[in-house]
Amino acid sequence: MTDIRIIRCQGPDQLPKLREAGEQGRVDKVVEKVLEAVKNNGDAALFHYEEKFDGVRLESLAVSEQEIGEAVVRTDPAFLDILREAKDNIAAFHEKQKRQGYLMDERPGVVMGQRVIPLDRVGVYVPGGTAYYPSTVLMDIVPARIAGVGEIVMATPPGRDGKVPDDILAAAHVAGVDKIFKIGGSQAIAALCYGTGTVPRVDKIVGPGNIYVATAKRMVYGLVDIDMIAGPSDILVIADDSANPAFVAADMLSQAEHDKLSAAVLVTTSEAMAQAVAKRIREQLEKLSRREIAAQAIERNSAIIVTDTLENAVAISNRIAPEHLEVCTGEPLALLPLIRHAGSVFLGHYAPEALGDYFAGPNHTLPTEGTARFSSPLSVDDFCKRSSFIYYQKEALARISDKITAFAMREGLDAHAKSVTIRMEGLE
């Protein structure tokens, strides 16, 4: 029988450690070797690692237009309609995120501003393996399209048959991808970073993945940009007596089933709710197809925390900084101003985390493992860069030349000063 811990805690300072320690040291060594091999050997290394790690001997790394077309034809038309509607919802939400540059010309002879420029080429990683995620395809490609990225390249692991699942290819087609490659794991990140004979080098890599993917992204950051280092998924639910314990248990298990390293936490002001949710978790767990994975996540990394007030519940949540935060209380909007650290917030009894995963519109690529303290969900901003510009006429520079010179000399940089004074020589 799988049991979840119940902890009594009056505030964030009393929180015990919730997650088990990972195996990062061993993973680092594996990933370093893969990155070096792909950097030096290109496509040959990719074919080797696909056979070694994904168990498939490929004839080609690229997914052809014919393969995509055939996958779309095989996909259930009703699911295609769902994909299109989800895409529209995601696009409508992300369109609001588009930024415009600006121009400043209030001072005589001076023009300054900022330009917002889409990236030339972006790599999107879509995980596979024990499950596959057409939703991630939409979430990562649609904002890139809205941003105006020049080329979107997707990498995703093939199945043992050497094919990418139809639903993944159909989602990529709906979202508007440019190229797709059958590559998984850290070797995919290496290929997107360094480029190979087949895979083009990208400017930024986005998308979630397992610990090997996350480690590879961390290691290549600086050669390319990345969205975030996403770890195992997590959810935190704040609940009072108004919550339905069956709903809460189902929502906690919805994240526990992702990965044995996932975490599901309930913070409640009700001892009765704590006991009822623990019971429902045991009952619902037995009926899940991924119960072995979910059970490990519940036993190792999850907990029910009982505290005295909803204010303390929010304080505990802010300390944990969850990827997904559900507020299942009688007046959820009243708590929203107190919430500072969460990737995405779901308010009320009828906004389950799965709503955000698939359909509502906000992005589901979110900061994990407490990084919501300082980072944000994937957005249109992730696919753009900003560049400033300055134009000064001669007279405008002359008005402030002495101030720039004084600043430069204060720092002992006389060549900086000279670059201004040389322009002033001979001015009347």
Q: Does residue 50 have an active-site annotation? A: no
156 - beta bridge partners?
A: 182
- 3-state SS string over the chain? CCCCEEEECCCHHHCCCCCCCCCHHHHHHHHHHHHHHHHHHCHHHHHHHHHHHCCCCCCCCECCHHHHHHHHHHCCHHHHHHHHHHHHHHHHHHHCCCCCCEEECCCCCEEEEEEEEECCEEEEECCCCCCCCHHHHHHHHHHHHHHCCCEEEEEECCCCCCCCCHHHHHHHHHHCCCEEEECCHHHHHHHHHHCCCCCCCCCEEECCCCHHHHHHHHHHECCEEECCCCCCCEEEEEECCCCCHHHHHHHHHHHHCCCCCCEEEEEECCHHHHHHHHHHHHHHHCCCCCHHHHHHHHHHHCEEEECCCHHHHHHHHHHHCCCEEEEECCCHHHHHHHCCCCCEEEECCCCCHHHHHHCCCCCCCCCCCCHHHCCCCCCHHHHEEEEEEEEECHHHHHHHHHHHHHHHHHCCCHHHHHHHHHHHCCCC
Q: Does residue 323 have an active-site annotation? A: yes
Catalytic residue among 94, 324, 349, 364: 324
Catalytic residue among 50, 257, 323, 326: 323
Cα 169 to Cα 190: distance, rounded to the nearest angstrom: 22
Burial class (CB in 10 A: 0-12, 13-18, 19+), 178: middle
Residue 182 phi, psi (nearest 5): -90, 75
The two three-digit tokens of residue 248, written as one number: 């809460």
- The catalytic residue positions are 323-324
